[in-house]
Amino acid sequence: MVSGIKMRPHLKLTRYFLKFYYYAFRFVLFTVISIRVLLYGLFHPSVIFNFLFGVVTEIAEFHKRCGGRVKNFKESKVYSEITDTLRFSQSNCLNVGFGTVRPIEAQVLASLVSYLNPKTIFEIGTYTGFSTLHLKYNASPETVIYTLDLPKDKSSIVLRNDLNEAHRDIKNINLNEQRHFHIDNDRKAIVELFGDSRTFDFSPYYGKTDFLFIDANHSYAYVKSDTENALKMVSAHGAILWHDYDFIHPGVFRLINEVAQNKKIFYIERTRYALLINSESQI
């Protein structure tokens, strides 16, 4: 019986030494790798940014599960149908840039549009047009995509609220001149609109828009206004997708949780998306 055998003292000592050596070696390895990563990160900040972004996404995921009122997209009928049919959609991950949707978000956006097949799309927040092209390449050829962003001349914009975040968005992000779809061969389906989403007249689109993508100013007042307009614009079987539903955009997070008190909103794992599907039969 093994339990009856007493281990000799020198064997016991060897075992402790090996154990110590094993953990000490791993600790030194971990320290050396961490220092190398830190030094590498000092010279390549974008790598650190991507790493931190991954961590933030994980924390956001946890936060949504624990504190958020939204449901997991996996519980929806749309999710089952998309995954059951093994749908392949078009997405481009290499042109992802600072301020655009992340690679997995581009893929999810592509899958949603390709499945929902909207005939009219409205995007608030064009930026470089990266997400706009995902809308275009995954919708049918006859789909019309309206995309709104601030005008090039920002001097005409009078902010309706003076939250820091609203100012930061307007100052830092407006690279409208270099839009991806300007070099795309066929941009007939894309209609560029310019204006401040809080003062823009959305009434011509009321009840006629099958898919809305909200990704413009992230302050609470702006997201609230964009959402109120989107709820008027969305068609009976349409959908609204919000970007930046995470704790680093508290305005978006608060607003989505409020909307989720009366409407069924889903969060999509591994993304910062929140989704509303207007048709009961689809959820």
Ligand X SMILES: C[S@@+](CC[C@H](N)C(=O)[O-])C[C@H]1O[C@@H](n2cnc3c(N)ncnc32)[C@H](O)[C@@H]1O
The binding site for ligand X (CB under 6 A) comprises 99-101, 124-128, 130-131, 148-150, 169-170, 173-174, 196-198, 215-217, 222
Task: In angstroms, give the least distance from the CB of 102 to ligand X.
Answer: 9
Specify the residue, 235 or 271, whose C-beta has the smaller distance to ligand X: 271
Pull the structure tokens for residue 253.
């997070």
Specify the residue, 127 or 283, whose C-beta has the smaller distance to ligand X: 127
Task: In angstroms, give the least distance from the CB of 165 to ligand X.
Answer: 10
Specify the residue, 170 or 231, whose C-beta has the smaller distance to ligand X: 170
Task: Pick the closest to residue 50 from 86, 12, 102 (CA basis).
Answer: 102
Specify the residue, 255 or 283, whose C-beta has the smaller distance to ligand X: 255
| Radius of gyration for the chain, computed over Cα atoms and rounded to the nearest angstrom | 24
Task: In angstroms, give the least distance from the CB of 128 to ligand X.
Answer: 6
Task: In angstroms, give the least distance from the CB of 110 to ligand X.
Answer: 12
Task: Pick the closest to residue 197 from 259, 260, 146 (CA basis).
Answer: 146
Which H or E run contains 71? strand 71-72
Task: In angstroms, give the least distance from the CB of 217 to ligand X.
Answer: 3
Alpha carbon distance 48, 11 (integer Å) = 45
Specify the residue, 125 or 238, whose C-beta has the smaller distance to ligand X: 125
Non-local (6+) Cβ contacts of 239 within 8 A are: 112, 116, 118, 210, 211, 212, 275, 276, 277, 278
